[in-house]
Structure 1
Amino acid sequence: MTASTASADRGALTRSAAYASIAVAALLAVLKTWAVWKSDSTAMLGSLADTGLDLVASIATLIGVWIAAQPADRDHRFGHGKAEALAALFQVVLIALSAAGIAMRAVGALVGGERVASADEGIVVSVIAMVATLGLLAWQRHVIRRTGSLAIKTDNVHYQSDLLLNLAVIAALALDRFVGIAGADPAFGLAIAAWLGWGAWRASSEAVNHLMDKEWPDDKREAFVAALAGHPELRGVHDLRTRTSGMHDFVQFHAAVDPRMTIAQAHRVMDELEARIEAEFPGVEVLIHPDPDGLVDEEGAAAEELLPAEPQGDPQ
């Protein structure tokens, strides 16, 4: 499969997940609007607000994954992968706003001693919402396994919280209406708001890492160096820099070779290193700077030798 074909397949998968998310959010928004009207429940109102923001966030996700799937161009030579991180951050902002709004409504209901008017409609709608959400989560997990999309991951985190949110709504309605516990509905509304706020905090970290070009995890970097280490003509590796943008990985490093090599010989070694990298890390974009062995112009961490030292023989 060529890189362009793989990119097209990934784009189709991420768009399908975004379309599914939009469809589920639109359906649930209609049902929950009816349930809020019938029940006057704070918890259900919080669930409706969350679903409305789900719909907006899912549209943002669709735009983000569509832009991210576009090939590199003259103005964006590294591609458009960071559009997914921007879409994810947009979702985080919406989740945080939703949490704040629900918390304010819940506090007002607690102070005012409000009770729900009806529970049946809210419980039925919440059960339907859970079934629809489970189906959506299953498809999103499939797409994430195939693509690693950050925007879909963030959307998936949000919809996972929706399962607990809908359970909380059912519990709040049942306790308030059938058991007669005053304040149960707004109390659960506050718990939902806190859960959403925590989810927004967690979801923001990966998006920020992508935008800030955070280095690969240590185990991935070590596996990368190990893929290079077996080349017999490579004498050292330093100034390794890595980052991820959307589905694309980028890496650059200095490779030390015999200073007596011709340019053509050094170029051959670089080609062989790129082939090793492609075998272990398909699709990664690599920039290699060849250095004569022993020459290190960098300072600090960039000058650190990364290849494992060769074992020394027993002294004679």
Structure 2
Amino acid sequence: MQNDPEHYARLVRRAALAATLTATLLIVGKLIAWLGSGSASLLASLTDSLMDVAASLLNLMALRYATQPADDQHRFGHGKMESLAAVAQAMFIAGSSLLLILHGIDRLAHPSPINQVGMAVFVMVLSTIATAALLLYQRYVISKTGSLAIKADSLHYRSDLLMNLAVLLALGLSAWGLGMADAVLAIAIGLYMAWSAKGIAEDAIQHLLDRELPEQEKQQIQSLAEAHPGVHGIHDLRTRQAGGTRFVQMHVELADELPLVDAHQIADDIEAKLKKALGNCDVIIHQDPISVVTASRAKE
């Protein structure tokens, strides 16, 4: 996880731009191949690429907003725009999956031969290579940023990679005389995309609802705070994430006689350790005298 918000913004914007350019190039190739072949599964892939461009453009604009620094009207930053972009992507994916399923059903009811299979195969092989390269770059960006919007985009393009492979299979089977395989795989691809959309939407909505950080990260936060020699314990730990920023709030239990300047220094030390471990995060620490905490617990 990167500590530098500017580096985070630069990486996620580049990943979004790369996805937009890749999807645009794939549309041109798939459109030419579909017009020549008439393949239902290739049309499914073309439709999804059209959705990819729309989703990636939306993602690019959302990330430009989400990575802006906090201002007077948005003191916690603009990170939740990433989650909103992910929800919008899920809607795009769900809509395209429905179109693919309906088209596949229509092709089953009204079968037609596939033409120029060789050209279609060539285009799909190039599409597969381009999509795989994009996914490798997105994986790198995710490993450095943890961006929810890029994760959603990557999930979308992983389904594209599977779709490209399925289209190649359908074209091969059709060439062997199994024409129904083209329509069946188009329906199967649509169902898979719908399932992917469900996962993206659920994760994004949980972020919008300020879901707690994973338990492993919360335990790491607690361990780092309690490891400080001046801390007797912590309580009321609260966490959430918006975009690339983690928000951490906690109460630390300190000795009654500790001077205020020393208590402040302890809080600063803990904050520095958390930022080093977690990357870009916003930490609020409240200091409690240990006697007050002990008395409060005794009443409970």
TM-score, structure 2 normalization: 0.92
Paired residue total: 295
Structure 2 residue aligned with 1:70: 68
Q: 2:130 — aligned with what?
A: 132
1:92 corresponds in structure 2 to 90
Partner of 1:306: none
Aligned in 2, Cα 1:217/1:34: closer, same or farther, shift over 3 Å? same
CA drift at 1:160: 1.3
Which residue of 2 is the match for residue 197 of structure 1?
A: 194
1:89-108 Cα offsets, whole Å, 9 max, x none, are 11111001010000001111
Aligned equivalent of 1:240: 237
Deviation at 1:226, TM superposition (A): 0.7
- The answer (yes or no) to whether the contact 1:228–1:273 under 8 Å persists in 2 is yes
Residue segments in structure 2 that go unaligned for 5+ positions in a row: none
1:156-305 equivalence runs, <5 A = 156-176=154-174, 178-296=175-293
Is contact 2:244–2:280 with CA below 8 Å preserved after alignment? Answer: no
Residues 149, 282 of structure 1: alpha-carbon distance in 2 compared, 3 angstrom cutoff: closer
Q: 1:39 to 1:250 in 2, by over 3 A?
A: same
Letter of the 1:55 partner, please give it: V
1:79 CA drift (Å):
0.7
CA distance in 1, matches of 2:22, 2:272: 44
User: Which protein has the bigger helix share?
Assistant: 2
Deviation (angstroms), 1:232: 2.5
Runs (4 or more) in structure 1 with deviation over 6 Å come to: none
Unaligned ranges ≥5, structure 1: 304-316
Deviations 1:104-127 (A, max 9, x none): 011111122333234222211111
1:208 alignment partner, SS class: helix
Deviates more, 1:226-235 or 1:255-264: 255-264
The TM-score normalised by the length of structure 1 is 0.87
The whole-number CA distance in structure 2 between the counterparts of 1:128 and 1:81 is: 35
Partner of residue 30, structure 2: 32
In structure 2, relative to structure 1, the CA distance for the partners of 1:76 and 1:229 (3 Å cut) is: same
Mapped partners of 2:276, 2:50: distance in 1? 44
Aligned to 1:295, what secondary structure does the other structure show? helix
Superposition deviation, residue 203 in structure 1: 2.0
What amino acid sits opposite 2:219 in the alignment?
Answer: E
Instruction: Report SS of the residue matched to 2:213.
Output: coil
Deviation of 1:295 after TM superposition, in Å, equals 3.3
Give the deviation of 1:282 after TM superposition.
3.6
The 1:146/1:277 distance shift into structure 2, 3 A limit, reads closer
State the shift of 1:8 in Å.
Answer: 1.8
Cα shift at 1:268: 3.2
What is the aligned partner in structure 2 of residue 144 from structure 1? Answer: 142
Deviations 1:136-188 (A, max 9, x none): 11221222222222111111111111111011111112212x21113111101
1-structure distance, mates of 2:11, 2:126? 25
Aligned-partner Cα distance in 1 for 2:116–2:265 = 75
- Range with greater deviation from structure 2 (283-292 or 268-277): 268-277
Identity %: 38
Counterpart of 2:105 (choices 90, 104, 107) is: 107
Moved more, 179-188 or 242-251: 179-188
SS at the partner of 2:190? helix
- Choose 1 or 2 for highest CA Rg: 1
In structure 1, what residue type is equivalent to 2:253?
Answer: A
What CA distance in whole angstroms lies between the structure 2 residues aligned with 1:60 and 1:212? 22
3-state SS of 2:102 partner: helix
Indicate the SS of the match to 1:80.
Answer: coil
Q: CA RMSD in A?
A: 2.0
The letter of the residue matching 1:100 is L
Distance 1:141 1:29 in 2: 23
Structure 1 stretch 46-55 or stretch 146-155: which is displaced more? 146-155
Choose between structure 1 and 2 for higher RCO, CA contacts under 8 A separated by at least 6 residues: 2
Counterpart-to-counterpart distance in 2, 1:122 and 1:289: 63
Tell me if structure 2 keeps the 8 A contact 1:115–1:183: no
Tell me: CA distance 1:274–1:167, structure 2 relative to 1, closer, same or farther (3 Å): closer
